[in-house]
Structure 1
Amino acid sequence: MVEIGFVGLGAMGLPMARNLVARGHRVRGFDMRPAAGEALAAAGGEAAASAAETAQGAEVLVLMVVNAAQAKAVLFEGGALDALAPGGVVALMATCPPGAVEAIAARVLAAGRRFVDAPVSGGVVGAVGGTLTVMAAAPRESFEAVRPALEAIGDKVFHVGERPGQGAVVKTVNQLLCGVHIAVVAEAFSLAAKVGVDAPVMLEILGGSSAASWMLKDRGPRMLEAEPEVTSAVDIFVKDLGIVLEAGREAKAALPLAAVAHQLFLATSGRGDGAADDSQVIRTYHAMNGGRPQPG
């Protein structure tokens, strides 16, 4: 059993924390929304009143927050880092720019604590099912210290490197491909709709052809719905593709497809659909081209 502090009990964080409890770990969690802490307590965890209280006595402090700014606020302004015992491990699991992760890690290490850069992929479905992909970068000793917790959260746990920031780079590349795939599926369906091709038939053909992809099969059916259930919001890709472009600038790498995809998600959010399912980037295509597929 590992003593775990968990900050960020949102749509993904809460089921992740519940899975840790289910695997026998002692979990104390904190979120700005008291109801989230109450939900964790109902699942057998403990609700903390602050980030610092969450970290007190923990062996591992998991941060499943929105961005790097929130991670810094929790650690350095909220007192969580000082509350964490010397030698304790900070596991940053949010999607953050590689440069920001390196800077946070440097401050954590300077304070005598360990740091694991461990972003995840798999969305709410993976968080609930404990099937997330975890991309962890840290010295081997630190990685092994948190492995039991990581394996309670995901069924695909990878040690991708020894240096903080390497996990963030892997997640950045993953999000580049995901965002571009979703946008190009929307573009293809928009063209089909423009010329009057039956959308469900188009989806069936593409899903069984060499053009098929995981994103096509997952997001394609939701693109045919007017108001699909939200599993990952448009605004998540506004953020994540922004991180992709920031990483490209830092590396002086041209990322033109990512830039176009980012603009499409940004336009969708700007039209008031930021909280809609990310498949609804297709609404921007329909706004440009007219029409939409008939619901299947």
Structure 2
Amino acid sequence: MTTKHHIGFLGLGQMGGLIAANLLRDDATLHIFDPSPAAREPFVKAGAVAHGSPREVADAADIVFACLPSPAVSKEVAFGANGVAGAGRARVYVELSTIGREAVQAIAARLNEAGIAVLDAPVSGASKSARAGTLSIMAAGPRQALETARPFFERIGKRIFAIDERPGLGQVMKLVNNLISATAMASSYEALVMGAKAGLDPDLMVEVINASTGRNSATLEKVPDAILPGTFDFGSALRIIAKDVDLGLAEAHSLGATMWVAETVGQLWRFAISQGAAEDDYTTLIRFMEKWAGVEVRSRKAQES
């Protein structure tokens, strides 16, 4: 007889909802919490069990996943008044959020006192990978907790990296990745605007770059998928990458690491936030550069069709 898994999931937002959907299986009961009725409704219709607090979820599930928007929210969910720390059933807590090392270490310390192992496991891949279950997962925490979570990680991710047994280092790995990603976006967008201003064909520029040394995740995916066609729908809000850059810079400062390039990149992302673009797709950063240059980086093929 197949054992029925009881899995908890906290946070059904832009990424969390897509990740949680891949945990809805016949062999599992998914226990969920999100303050938004609209976020909960499709899961309940699909067979998930909605609860009134994170603690109630952790009272019903053996392993609880969280995908939350900020360090403050993550701490409240983990050890606030109705948090996971007060639960009686869950023994593994998986923090999928990107919230920085300090927050994860604080969560691990409090939950460990309650007998709950913490896996620091931020993910990368944006909404397309979350929907397809092909995220990369950067897990740091006790080895036994990782093995407990692994079968469920395999439902949401394609690559599972065992970073370290110390929670917090998964966060650092994710911030290293996202500092590079945010810089690649900013520099790629800026350079493509320069080329378009000079009269280069945007489609040809991207083709040449992706066959040459300038290729990166922005030119390989974000530009051709969301900027050239003008859809700006790659699937992640601008505020999220801006938040990750700020967390990365804070971590660098705490370590005494000099970040000349990242400091400048951070200013650019924060400028976009200040202009009201926080909830826009992060590919819309290029629109500011286009406005300054008086040119657009769009596919001529799309315009002609």
Rounded to whole Å, the distance in 1 between the matches of 2:85 and 2:176 is: 33
Distance 1:189 1:61, change over 3 A: same
Rounded to whole Å, the distance in 1 between the matches of 2:105 and 2:152 is: 22
> 1:230 deviation in Å?
4.3
| Residue among 219, 223, 227 paired with 1:220 | 223
Work out whether 1:179 is the aligned partner of 2:182: yes
> 1:10 deviation in Å?
1.0
Distance 1:12 1:23, change over 3 A: farther
The code of the aligned residue for 2:184 comes to: H
Rounded to whole Å, the distance in 1 between the matches of 2:107 and 2:79 is: 9
> 1:239 deviation in Å?
0.4
Corresponding residue number in structure 2 for 1:198: 201
Deviations 1:146-199 (A, max 9, x none): 112212111211111000101111111111111111111101111112222222
Rounded to whole Å, the distance in 1 between the matches of 2:26 and 2:240 is: 29
> Percent identity among equivalent residues?
33
> 1:294 deviation in Å?
4.1
| Residue among 16, 20, 25 paired with 1:17 | 20
Please state whether the residue corresponding to 2:31 is helix, strand or coil.
Answer: strand
Instruction: Answer whether contact 2:9 2:57 (CA < 8 A) is retained.
Output: yes
> 1:243 deviation in Å?
0.7
Corresponding residue number in structure 1 for 2:268: 264
Rounded to whole Å, the distance in 2 between the matches of 1:82 and 1:264 is: 39
Rounded to whole Å, the distance in 1 between the matches of 2:102 and 2:49 is: 33
Give 5+ residue unaligned stretches, structure 2: 301-305
> 1:213 deviation in Å?
2.0
| Range with bigger deviation, 183-192 or 83-92 | 83-92
Work out whether 1:7 is the aligned partner of 2:16: no
Q: What are the within-5 Å matches in structure 2 for residues 246-265 of structure 1?
A: 246-265=250-269
Please state whether the residue corresponding to 2:296 is helix, strand or coil.
Answer: coil
Rounded to whole Å, the distance in 1 between the matches of 2:152 and 2:81 is: 23
Distance 1:269 1:23, change over 3 A: farther
| Residue among 281, 288, 291 paired with 2:285 | 281
Work out whether 1:75 is the aligned partner of 2:112: no
The code of the aligned residue for 1:37 comes to: R
- Under a length normalisation based on structure 2, what TM-score does the superposition of the two structures give? 0.91
The code of the aligned residue for 2:252 comes to: G
Instruction: Answer whether contact 2:61 2:89 (CA < 8 A) is retained.
Output: no
Give 5+ residue unaligned stretches, structure 1: none
Corresponding residue number in structure 1 for 2:123: 120
The code of the aligned residue for 1:102 comes to: Q
The code of the aligned residue for 1:266 comes to: R
Moved over 4 A (4+): none
Please state whether the residue corresponding to 1:9 is helix, strand or coil.
Answer: coil
Rounded to whole Å, the distance in 2 between the matches of 1:82 and 1:102 is: 14
Instruction: Answer whether contact 1:190 1:292 (CA < 8 A) is retained.
Output: yes
How many residue pairs are counted as aligned between the two chains? 296
Rounded to whole Å, the distance in 1 between the matches of 2:276 and 2:295 is: 18
Instruction: Answer whether contact 2:233 2:283 (CA < 8 A) is retained.
Output: no
Instruction: Answer whether contact 1:133 1:155 (CA < 8 A) is retained.
Output: yes
Please state whether the residue corresponding to 2:214 is helix, strand or coil.
Answer: coil
Instruction: Answer whether contact 1:187 1:285 (CA < 8 A) is retained.
Output: yes
